[in-house]
Amino acid sequence: MADIVIIGGHGKVALKLERLLAERGDRVDAIIRNPEHAGDIEAAGANPVVADIELLDVDGLAELFAGHDAVVWSAGAGGGNPARTIAVDRDAAIRTMAAAERAGVPRYVMVSYFDSPDRSVPDDNPFRHYAEAKADADEHLATSSLDWTILGPGRLTDDPGTGTIDAEAAESGAVSRDDVAAVAAAVLGDDRSIGRTIRFTAGDTPIAEAVAGA
């Protein structure tokens, strides 16, 4: 059994991940900003922790992380506000990495997106702020002392999961949120994924096999 903290605990992927982890016997703390979401967290088998990662400093985040075995970042500003995108997807994400190091939490899993890091997005494209923020966060994580894994799923869908993916896809494509959650659960249980960026779409390779790098 592992003690895992999920940042962005009310997201669609996060709720699915919480159920998977709880079902296999892990203890999960899910960080949420809105206390009205606590019931959904509990229904997924996790413990709701109300905190605003955008406001907490490294010490405050380290207090939340203390005693856990792994941190999962599954949060996001949601786009539309460039300043907040930078504040959450870059600045807060990087603070959580420093906090995990300070709290002695060795494992960190980042849920990113297929094309990150991508610094080729034009200045006049609204997606640029998000792409830059994710690139900064992912590159920072990859140079940290943490046992990191970065997940780069393709375009997310609500289709039923298949339990299989393509982790050798040359370009982004669709993948179900069910399967993204299953990949996150798998990497948390397989140290062979440490130090790897796993980009994936829907495919035919069993998730455990893809995560193991077989």
**Can you give the pLDDT at residue 206?**
97
| pLDDT averaged over every residue in the chain | 95
How do residues 80-115 score in pLDDT, each as one tens digit? 788 999 999 999 999 999 999 999 999 999 999 999
Can you point out the beta strands (E) in 42-163? 47-50, 70-73, 107-111, 147-153, 155-157
Which residue is it, tokens 């440490």? 194
**Terminal alpha carbon distance of the chain:** 25
Six token digits for residue 37: 């979401």
pLDDT tops 60 at residue 214: no
Q: What are phi and psi of 213, to 5 degrees?
A: 75, 20
Each domain of the chain, given as residue ranges in start order, spans 3-212
pLDDT tops 60 at residue 64: yes
**Can you give the pLDDT at residue 42?**
98
Give the SS3 label for residue 204: coil
How do residues 69-78 score in pLDDT, each as one tens digit? 999 999 987 6
- Catalytically annotated residues: 130
* Helix and strand numbers, DSSP H then E, in the chain: 8, 11
Q: What are phi and psi of 123, to 5 degrees?
A: -60, -35
Q: What is the mean pLDDT of residues 198-205?
A: 97
Q: What is the mean pLDDT of residues 145-161?
A: 97
The span from the CA of 127 to the CA of 53, in Å, is: 22
CATH number assigned to the domain covering 3-212:
3.40.50.720
Residue 173: how many CB atoms within 10 A of its CB?
Answer: 15
